[in-house]
Structure 1
Amino acid sequence: MAELSFLPQLGLAVLLSLVVGMEREFRQKQAGIRTHVLVGLGAAVFMVVSIIQFGDSRIAAQIVSGVGFLGAGLIFVRRDMVRGLTTAASVWLVAAIGMAAGAGLFTLAPAITAGYLLVTLVIKPLTRRMPHARSTRHTLMIRYQDGRGLLRTIIAVIAEHGMKVSNLQVRDSSIDPATQEIILQIDGSPNATDAAVVALNRIPGVLKIRLNAKPDEG
């Protein structure tokens, strides 16, 4: 049967999508191996069906649109931070890999996969060495209303911005016994620190934040 001649294309789509999915799975992203393999295989199947039935690749544009909607569902905004962009892009790219494999482009499909790995495994570590991305240590003094369980929220917000708490000191506020003060030492990039401070200021019950405060400052 003519359809059997397309099995190598489908196999290549599964293999290359698996590579991308494993990288996402290793980084514990919301879309992992199964999602990427299914998207890549689905795109390849659509390409094969288009070629067999219509003799061209007129379905390609519809694949791009459909995967665009799927990728949009992986992007969400939380506390002014956009997450899922890279995963959505990887799903979109794996559809392109599946389309290339389904069309029988045995050189282009692996080349796209290699380009993805180059970006994620080589270029990303290089960006961390840039001046704006270097991790620095900052001290935060945060005063908040006591008895509302805000400490857990504060720590969660800091973590959501990709920052690490290296030291935490809790002390009673000398201004108001109904408030609590903490001194935090956090590690992260300057941009992440600024974004974290903005998000912390928006937490109901947080009364004051002082960046790079000294332990004896009020």
Structure 2
Amino acid sequence: MDLINTSFLHNKEVVMVIRLVVAAILGGIVGIERGSGDRPAGFRTHILVCVGSALFMLVSLYGFDDVYPQTAKLEEDIGQRRDSARIAAQVVSGIGFLGAGTILHEGLTIRGLTTAASLWMVSAIGLAAGSGMYFLSSVATIITMITLVTFHTWEKRFAANSRSDRQFIRIITTNRSGAITDVTGYLSLNGVQVKSLNVKRDKEKNRLVLEVFLKLGKTAPDGGDLVRGLQGIEGVVGVENMR
């Protein structure tokens, strides 16, 4: 009887190790793509997240096998009292803290959203691999790679076609009353929509730095005329294209 239990334990541990290895491989595949560029999270991070998620799932599935027989009154109560998703479910919410750390705000732009999403996806792949869903986790990895690699090229192509009507500019003006109103009023009168406006103060030179994301309408002037028009506003000392 002891020999049978030992053999079963040995086989079960082999299955656990295989699931961890599969999770490491699948997480590494996604991590290679993320690590190929200047990403906040790369190859090693994705492997650790995927393996960690798989390990949490394994603990949920098998970590309390020696406890339930002692607490269950009847043998059939063991399966009914088990909650295999209890620990694994915490991965879904816990991965948000790690994903938030990869999101960077640089002026008017935000970087790292796709990497945060890939970490969240990798954690789901790890949970699937840890539960023994090899085919499902492999398909999810393939879909993730297609999205990150193929769709990225399409996204850049479509963005290039629609980017002509959008522009980032930095406007430097003296720190005077009504400066921001004069700038936004000029843009509005010329068919330019202000999508976002970030104001910084240069106390040493007593200036305002306006970082503006613009959407140019059909009646808006071209780039050169727009810059010259802004430079003609009282107090404006410089206009820079941030694109």
| Length-normalised TM-score, structure 2 | 0.58
SS at match of 1:82: strand
Determine the C-alpha separation between the residues in 2 that align with 1:72 and 1:141: 28
The more displaced of 80-89 and 48-57 is 48-57
What is the match of residue 85 of structure 1?
113
Which residue does the alignment assign to 1:122? 150
Q: Are 1:62 and 2:72 matched, yes or no? A: no
Shift of 1:129: 2.6
Which residues of structure 1 form unaligned runs of 5+?
146-193
What one-letter code is carried by the residue in structure 2 that aligns with 1:19?
Answer: I
Asked if residue 98 in structure 1 is aligned to residue 129 in structure 2, the reply is no
How far 1:131 sits from its partner (Å)?
Answer: 6.1
Partner residue of 2:40?
30
Q: Distance in 2 between matches of 1:62 and 1:84?
A: 23
Q: 1:139 to 1:49 in 2, by over 3 A?
A: closer
Residue 75 of structure 1 is matched in structure 2 by 103
In structure 2, C-alpha distance between the alignment counterparts of 1:213 and 1:131, rounded to whole Å: 22
Deviations 1:152-210 (A, max 9, x none): xxxxxxxxxxxxxxxxxxxxxxxxxxxxxxxxxxxxxxxxxx77x955x7574468999
Residue-pair matches, total: 169
CA-CA distance at 1:98 after TM superposition:
0.6
Output the CA distance in 2 between the equivalents of 1:45 and 1:139: 45
Distance in 1, matches of 2:109 and 2:168, equals 22
Matched residue type, 2:58 = V
Q: Are the aligned partners of 1:127 and 1:133 in contact in 2 as well (CA < 8 Å)? A: no
Larger Rg: 2
Percentage of identical aligned residues? 35
Alpha-carbon contact 1:139-1:213 (below 8 Å) kept: no
Q: Which structure dedicates a bigger proportion of its chain to helix? A: 2
Which position in structure 2 is the counterpart of 1:212?
223
1:107 paired residue among 118, 123, 135: 135
The structure 1 segments of at least 4 consecutive aligned residues displaced by more than 3 Å after TM superposition are 131-145, 201-211
- Map 1:180-191 to 2 at 5 A: none
Equivalent residue for 1:49? 59
Q: Deviations over 1:53-83 (max 9, x none)?
A: 2462322211111111211122232323222
**TM-score scaled to structure 1, two decimals?**
0.64
Change in CA separation of 1:107 and 1:207 when aligned onto 2, cut-off 3 Å: closer
| Residue identity in the other structure for 1:71 | G
Give the CA RMSD over aligned residues. 3.4
